[in-house]
Amino acid sequence: WKEWHPGFPLSIDAHSHSDLPRDIQFDNEKGIDFILNYSKAMENLYINRFMHMFQSSWSDFADFERIFVRISNTISEYVMQHWKEDFMFGYQFLNGCNPVLIQRCTEIPKKLPVTMDMVECSLERNLTLEEEVKQGNIFIVDYELLDGVDANKTDPCTIQYLAAPICLLYKNLENKIVPIAIQLGQKPGPDNPIFLPSDATYDWLLAKIWVRSSDFHIHQTVTHLLRTHLVSEVFSIAMFRQLPAVHPLFKLLVPHMRFTIAINTKAREQLICECGLFDKANATGGGGHVQMVQKAMKDLTYSSLCFPEEIKAKGMDSKEDIPYYYYRDDGIKVWESVKSFAEDVIHIYYESDEVVCEDVELQAFIKDIYVYGMRGVKASGFPKMIRTREKLAEYLTVIIFTTSAQHAAVNFGQYDWCSWIPNAPPTMRRPPPTEKGTVTIEQIVESLPDRGRSCWHLGAVWALSQFQDNELFLGMYPDEHFVEKPVKEAMAKFRKNLDEIVSAITERNKNKKLPYYYLSPDRIPNSVAV
């Protein structure tokens, strides 16, 4: 173990990929060279011709199309055509690449002094705002975590800005989620107005762009880096340290740890290190992303990694109330089938709870995760030991689900949702507006990333969204660590369950303009390897 930054989950004690034990390195180190891959991505996307234009602004929204690669009939193209619409903005909170922040609003927070007068024209049920809240029709996304985070200062020629917005959303009569109020800072006041759909077109559009940019930062650093990559690395290190290769739980988990330590080591070497690629185009580069992970650690709890519990805690569990939340629907199906598989394997090797308690290797594994990964923080809710088969099944489900499904859900949609740059600006070059009625299209374009940063961003989201050449998807276990017949049968049952989920998702997505497929098991790699 090694501490990479104070307060982070501990990571592997290695400076570079070549320091790692050979058996956990990538087969081919060139394949994961970020510098090479991003440059290759920019060549493939034919955008390297703009690379020397750091600092130069685009001329208008249409100009962004000069680097936008048209892959027809895809989500990315749909985003480009519809990104300004309130429906599209709201939809992404449910089914975009960061579908984990939205929660039901049980009361309007004091720091967001929205009045009935402000939002009346957005409400469709002839109810007051209070009544809409009581009926469960109001939702909220709060980017408080970004408050006080330092913006990137690594380029003296470009001042970059961050905001910490609060966004109020409404479920309309069509059951669509749409924004009804946006405040761009945490402290209410005359220079922090609440922007509304009834405001001037560009005022409202810029407010939404600021929310999308803030969402991008939380997505990259908290949802993706901390809550999938770093957590999976903790599971991986603890497994290699404490479970011998003949242990059934080692055999169960090892396919879900493939290349995770390697990819994270490479990322610390080239991507998120000081002066790494992350600093080039992101407003949270240059140290802001480190502050964000440190702040986000307090919300990294065991229950928040239990998928159904986390959905419920956010008040987002009712299919009847919120019918178009495919991330939730597909995630729960995958969670259930992983859990059922974990239970089957546990029942083969542990005939009673007593056997679980007495498995010293298992207990050392659990303890390692708590002490080093979670830094021994009691409030994390991570168990120090496991006493029952039921709890063990849940714990193994958390590990397998996080390393496979959760990572897939938040990683592989990045090109779809973030390649149209006004929909996910990685940086903003003007401060958030402090008054209404002054925003022009020129001002918006000058706020958005310059040409050079746009190209880096596009190369990055494209490279991150690619599967490996020899990708192994959920339920594919070609290495045959297990030889016992009952486990082979459990695996066959698991694959059958997963195939049924694939069929159901394929059926649902038929003829949809915006299909949701990130949690389809045939698109969920076994491990965090990109």
The candidate with the shortest Cα–Cα distance to 319, out of 310, 334, 330, is 330
DSSP 461: H
HSE on the CB side for 425, CA within 13 Å? 28
CA–CA separation, 178 and 123 (whole Å): 10
Q: Which residues are annotated as a binding site?
A: 224, 229, 407
Beta strand 166-171 with 138-142: parallel, antiparallel or unpaired? Answer: antiparallel
Which value, to the nearest 10 degrees, does the dihedral of the CA atoms of residues 423, 425, 428, 433 take? 20
Helix, strand, coil percentages, rounded to 5, for the chain? 55, 5, 40
The burial of 287, by beta-carbon neighbours within 10 Å (0-12 exposed, 13-18 middle, 19 or more buried), is given as middle
For Cα atoms 411, 323, 518, give the angle at the middle one, nearest 5 degrees. 20
Helix (H, G, I), strand (E, B) or coil at 445: helix
Helix (H, G, I), strand (E, B) or coil at 223: helix
Q: How many residues appear in the chain?
A: 530
| CB atoms closer than 10 angstroms to residue 23 | 6
CA–CA separation, 184 and 462 (whole Å): 29
Beta strand 103-104 with 166-171: parallel, antiparallel or unpaired? Answer: unpaired
CA–CA separation, 161 and 281 (whole Å): 12
Token readout for 494 is 């698991």
Helix (H, G, I), strand (E, B) or coil at 62: helix
Cα first-last separation, the chain:
22
CA–CA separation, 151 and 261 (whole Å): 29
Query: Which alpha helices (DSSP H) does 45-166 contain, by range?
Result: 75-82, 86-95, 116-119, 129-134
Q: Which residues are annotated as a binding site for Fe cation?
A: 224, 229, 407
Residue 110 β-bridge partners: none
